[in-house]
A and B are shown apart, each in its own frame.
Chain A
Amino acid sequence: MVKIDNDRINNLLAQARQGDRQAFSEIVRIMMNPVVALTYKMTQEKDSALDLAQDTFISAWENLDSFKGESRFYSWIYRIAANKSLNYLKREGRKVGDRSLTEQVASENPARELEQKELKGRILSFMSQLPPQQRLVFELRFYKQLSFEEVAGHTDKALGTVKTLYREAVKKLREVALAEGWAQ
């Protein structure tokens, strides 16, 4: 799903670390979509997602020295983006909706023949109601295809905790899917 040319990134990175701003801009061009996808799925707000993505790259520039190369660069960037998104949600005081996901589905239009596209949109909006930590873990594992170990490293959580969060997310999404009637 995420196709990022690591060699190219590493070359640009080496130049950026020498202070080459153009090389850094090129990294931004390559990484902007994956990063904004993450911040968007976390916030579900286009403007905030773009702002957070930009903040992410500025922090990355300022902390390039602290990237030691022990993880892949893009996963290091995701970590920054994830922290920014979580802080944003915390600042905004965003809470999980009071009603359960299935209740919401039940109370909405029960039409069964939804367009596939529309369905995706709805799943994403349901995703925004997962607790932020579950949402983040799901995003990093499912969409960014990071390993559970990497996700644990990025979220400063134990491996077992990360797996539990992922399971919880899947469980809730499956409930929604079943209620919608599109998972046989």
Chain B
Amino acid sequence: MNCQQIKDELMLLVGSDQLPDEIQKHLDTCDDCRKFWSELVSLAESMGTDDEFRLDRATIEAAVSNIDRRIDLRELDRVVEVGASWKAWVPAAAAMFLLVGISLIVYMVGGFGDRNGQADLSPKDSTWVIFVNGELDALDENAVAYILHQSASYEMLAEDLTDEELEYLENNFDVEDIL
């Protein structure tokens, strides 16, 4: 191999611990390639490791529950899709949601657990409690999607949503996109 070929190989070896014999032998006798390699070693040392991207435990746990909840939602979708033609009432559900909002959630917290005898596939309680307390920030798109899927079956309680809450929902969630 000539120097250029050696350098081409060396670039591929960045991040490896061991050099093949043939290349090591060349480095032993060629100042230019040896210098090139030592630059690459410096480079590799400065690139850090994945360990520098550690999330703390709490963040990981939050992610674990979020993933868990989102999987719940998806499995719920499947249940609903099999059980009923929910798509037909989704547009109505969207409209309902914006009107009904908080009140609906209060109602749901009260008991959609065993609706129609289905298993309780509700998101984690904390989401609902936070929402009931009016901290809408804590509600993510998936929870909204979940509510949309639920809402058409509850024809009630249209008064309690304030203008502010309405505005918040419209600004922060793309209802059409969720659908």
Contact = CB atoms under 8 A, between A and B. Distances in A.
Answer yes or no: do A and B interact.
yes
Nearest to A50: B63
Interface residues of A, number: 43
Nearest to A119: B46
Interface in B32-68: 35, 38-40, 42-44, 46-55, 59-60, 63-64, 66-68
Interface residues of B, number: 32
A184 interface: yes
Given A33-B55, A61-B71, A163 B64 contact: no
Nearest to A177: B43
B14 A123 contact: no
Given A21-B68, A36-B55, A170 B63 contact: no
Contacts of B49: 1, 143
Interface in A94-153: 116, 119-120, 123-124, 141-145, 148
Q: Main SS of the interface on chain A?
A: helix
Nearest to A40: B53
Chain A to chain B: the 6 pairs with minimum beta-carbon distance, closest first = A37-B53, A37-B50, A183-B39, A142-B15, A183-B42, A170-B11
Interface in A140-184: 141-145, 148, 163, 166-167, 170-171, 173-174, 177-178, 182-184
B55 A32 contact: yes
Nearest to B49: A1
